[in-house]
Structures are given as C-alpha cells and as structure tokens.
Amino acid sequence: MSTPPKVYNLRPRVRDQRPTVTRRTSQRKTTLSTGRGGKTRAQLLKEIQNLTLANNALVSDNQELQKERNDLRIRVQDEILKNVMLKEKLDKQNKDLEALMEQQAEASVVLPNSCLICCENWTSSGTHRMISLACGHLFGDSCIRRFFQTGTLSCPICRRRAFMSDIRYIYVEV
C-alpha cells in the first residue's frame, strides 16, 4: 500500500522569514545612504566625479606624452639616418683622401726633381732652374714667372700670397 504524499503547509514558514528579509533590505538602504566608511550618497557621487575628472586628465596627459614620445622617436630616427649618411660620406672622403695621398706619394717618388707646375725636371742653370717662394714650395723659374704674369699673385700649391720679390734661387746640382 502506498502512502499518500504529504502536503506541507508552507505559509507559516514564509511569514516567519518576512521580518528577516525586511531587516536585510533596510540594512542595505542604510548602507547605500551612508555608504562604506560612513559617507553619504552625495559624498560618494562627488568623489566619483572627482576621480572621473582626475582619470580624464591622466588619460589626456598620457595621450600627449605618447604623441611627444612618437615625435621624439621620429626625430631620433631622422638623426640616426642623418648620422649614417654623414658617416658614409666621411668614409668616402677618407677613401678619396687615402687615394690622393697614395698618388701624391707615388708622384713625389716618381718626380722628385721636377717643377710642380709643368712636371718637367729642373735645370741647374738657365730659365728653368729651381726656385723657392717664401712658403717653401719649389718651382721652375720660368713657370712661376709665367704664373705670376697671369695676375695671380699667390703660390699655386698653398694659395699663400706671393710676389716676384719672393722668388729665391736654389743652388743644387741636378
């Protein structure tokens, strides 16, 4: 035989729980109106507004700093590129200078007794004998006189001011 299901009367239990729910709700309302730490709702809203404004200011500052950082990165990259290009130019000029120095060394070895204007050997006497200017550079007499007659009154090598009166004869056996 089966037993019929028991029917419970739930109404008294719900009534018993009502004061507890009401008590909890009133506690929540009190907490909401006074807030944590005893602050009122208006005070909390004002604090939220202040924090929001401060946050917006920080976000704005952060964006400005990021823009400035990006601008600085671009400037640094430009400077790096400029430095690389200048280094390449300097390297090329150094190579050119080394090549010129080698040519000069070879030329001075090959032409030790020759005029720097016409590259012909000097004579010990005559019109193409060795002379020196005040700066110390050596030329053939006729070559430097012709050079001065063109109106250029400077050494063809160093461009230092020179005159016909600066010509000094060098006495060596050639």
Tokens of 8: 């419970």
Chain centre to alpha carbon of residue 102: 35
On average, the pLDDT of the chain sits at 81
Give the pLDDT band (50/70/90) at residue 27. low
Least reliable range by pLDDT among 1-15, 33-47, 82-96, 142-156: 1-15
130 and 154 co-located in one domain: yes
92 and 57 co-located in one domain: yes
Q: Does 13 reside within a domain?
A: no
Q: Does 17 reside within a domain?
A: no
How confident is the model over 33-89, as pLDDT tens digits? 555 567 899 999 999 999 999 999 999 999 999 999 999 999 999 999 999 999 999
The number of folded domains in the chain is 2
How far is the C-alpha of 109 from the C-alpha of 121, rounded, in Å?
13
Domain boundaries, position 51: 35-110
Give the pLDDT band (50/70/90) at residue 110. very low
pTM: 0.36
128 and 160 co-located in one domain: yes
Q: Does 124 reside within a domain?
A: yes
How confident is the model over 75-85, as pLDDT tens digits? 999 999 999 99
The answer to whether residue 135 scores a pLDDT higher than 80 is yes
* pLDDT attached to residue 169: 87
How far is the C-alpha of 47 from the C-alpha of 128, rounded, in Å?
101
Q: Does 100 reside within a domain?
A: yes
95 and 39 co-located in one domain: yes
**130 CB-contact burial (10 Å; exposed 0-12 / middle 13-18 / buried 19+):** buried
Which of 110, 128, 146 is where one domain is finished?
110
Q: Does 16 reside within a domain?
A: no
Opening angle at CA 101, ends 160 and 137, nearest 5 = 30
Q: Does 18 reside within a domain?
A: no
Q: Does 5 reside within a domain?
A: no
Which of 92, 110, 128 is where one domain is finished?
110
* pLDDT attached to residue 111: 42
The 138-140 sheet, strands edge to edge: 138-140, 130-132, 168-169
57 and 45 co-located in one domain: yes
Q: Does 28 reside within a domain?
A: no
